[in-house]
Amino acid sequence: MTKRWVQDHRRDSWRRQAKEEGYRARSAWKLKQIQERFEVIRKHDVVLDVGCHPGGWAQVAVECSGERGEVVGIDLMPCQPVEGALLLVGDITDRGTQARVRREFDEDNKRPINAVVSDISPDLTGNWDIDQAVSIDLVAKVFDFSLPLLAAGGSFVTKIFQGVGVDELIQVVKPHFTKVRRFSPDASRNSSSEVYLICLNHRPWKAPKGRILLRWEDAVTERIDSQTEVAPEAESVKKIGRILRRKLEEE
């Protein structure tokens, strides 16, 4: 029995279990296991689901927040409706889309967001250095958009890919929450480099000034400049960070 067979069997097991329980994707179990461990969503919560396609996380969010909760999802790809959730189509990094999402929470009698859950991933190129750096860039942009909308005491969960720059992202995000840690659900593939960043108890009054994305790039640059020997992939991240900074400043 090969290791690959065991991994495939486990994947099929989670996929089969998700199907039996009415979830659209095996990834629903990742959020369920995160929820079981950290209770990131509570009854009556308002939840923003970023990268919601195909809708498995929205299904779990609706279950966890209950009838008096509210779930809004956003993804580039359209989703089949999820009862109890409003699912929008758009690019979360686009200002027009951000305005649409913000309006859902800015209307009269709307409550602030209590939890942001994000299983978002960029289109992968096959070049790991680029894919991993662009993934952190995307996560940082979701932080920059969502944190001003997140209530005090709220939670933020996002997928990240392990590699250069992750420690710096955690360093930059930590002041915004009382607890930030990495977690790998059992439903994640054993061979996958993905982990989830669990951020608990948002404290906006502690928030440093400046965008997460720019502070992350500064932290990576500082780390690289302080080392006498630098891994090639770290230099790649630094260069990509400079490109991303220029793009952001041009917006």
Burial category of 177 from C-beta neighbours within 10 Å (exposed 0-12, middle 13-18, buried 19 and up): buried
Cite the active site residues: 159
DSSP type of residue 236: H
d(CA 172, CA 238): 16
Question: pLDDT per position in the chain (251 positions), as tens?
Answer: 444 434 544 556 756 666 656 588 888 999 999 999 999 999 999 999 999 999 999 999 999 999 999 999 999 999 999 999 999 999 999 999 999 999 988 765 568 999 999 999 888 888 877 888 889 999 999 999 999 999 999 999 999 998 888 999 999 999 999 999 999 998 876 556 889 999 999 999 988 889 999 999 899 888 877 765 555 555 656 555 555 555 555 55
The three-class DSSP label of residue 250 is helix
Which candidate, 53, 209, 216, 40, places its Cα nearest to that of 132?
216
Amino acid at 6: V
CATH topology of domain 3-250: Rossmann fold (3.40.50)
- Three-state SS sequence of 108-127: CCCCCEEEEEECCCCCCCCC
DSSP type of residue 62: H
d(CA 81, CA 33): 23
Q: What is the pTM of this model?
A: 0.85
Amino acid at 66: G
How many residues are there in the chain?
Answer: 251
